[in-house]
A and B are shown apart, each in its own frame.
Chain A
Amino acid sequence: MLTVLLLFVLICGSTGGEIAISHGAKKTGEPKRMRPWELLVFIGRVMSNGWFLLGIPLMAASFFALLILFSWHPLSFVIPISALSYVVGALGAKYILKEEVNAARWAGVILVCAGVAMVAAG
């Protein structure tokens, strides 16, 4: 039962956190040039964004769930199930971030999800 709960935290925490951080990064605007100093300034601006501060606890919860799951189970169990986060993420991108997830992108996401599960299980 604890394993199921931790897998839920792992998948929803990482997806929710990434969606919040993605939104925060877009609100910040992309760096003008790919110079180290400008990238550092950009990262500082993203990190002071409220969406980033919402995403971090979600990602942290997911991270600790991953560490505990790694200590309980082999990678070949944890990673195939966590691959579901690709599908959950695509749903979040479509309905929350309002991205255009067309048929090609859905097909790609599903193939990647199945592929990750097979690699880890194999």
Chain B
Amino acid sequence: MASEKRLRIKTLIMVLAMVVCAVTGDLLLKRGMSEAGAVQFTGHGLGQALLHMATSGMIWLGILFLLGFMASQMTVMSWADYSYVMPAGAFGYALQTFLAVVVLHETVSAKRWMGVLLICVGVVLVGQTKPRTSEAAESVGKAVASC
């Protein structure tokens, strides 16, 4: 029982780290790519976009946060189910909305609040299930090999 509680607490901490890194990283990438304008799907256009990506501080900072997201995701997935971690990470969308209202004093539409409510209910439902249900990793290798 104590180990089950410990498993839930450490899973929650790592999922929160994932959410914060993902939300910040996405925001920085969106800003960085918006500075470049619409990417043209030609050799020259893609080259220009790659040059912009390589030289934009905003994009590099975004990538750094996404690396933090990936490190925390890898860590939590070493013990918890993918189908548990993935929907729980969607709490980031709810967090973005709360931050928009509390920090930026933005007006949020009823549709968006309804979405936040659905996400929260969904995350609570997933949170009720056991964080780890899968057997040893070897069984997966066999499943993949048989595909």
Contacts and interface: CB of A to CB of B under 8 A. Distances in A.
Q: Do A and B bind each other?
A: yes
- Size class of the B contact interface (CB-based, 8 Å): 35 or more
B80 to A, nearest CB: 9
Given A27-B137, A46-B74, A122-B112, A102 B129 contact: yes
Given A118-B111, A119-B115, A112 B83 contact: no
Contacts, number: 194
Given A99-B83, A109-B87, A30 B78 contact: yes
A25 interface: yes
B21 interface: no
25 contacts: A18-B77, A19-B82, A26-B140, A29-B78, A30-B75, A67-B49, A89-B86, A94-B83, A97-B81, A97-B83, A97-B134, A97-B140, A99-B81, A104-B128, A104-B129, A105-B84, A105-B126, A107-B122, A107-B125, A108-B127, A111-B118, A118-B114, A118-B118, A122-B108, A122-B113
Interface of B: 10, 29-30, 33-34, 36-39, 41, 49, 53, 71, 73-75, 77-79, 81-87, 90, 93-94, 96-97, 108-130, 133-135, 137, 139-141, 143-144, 147
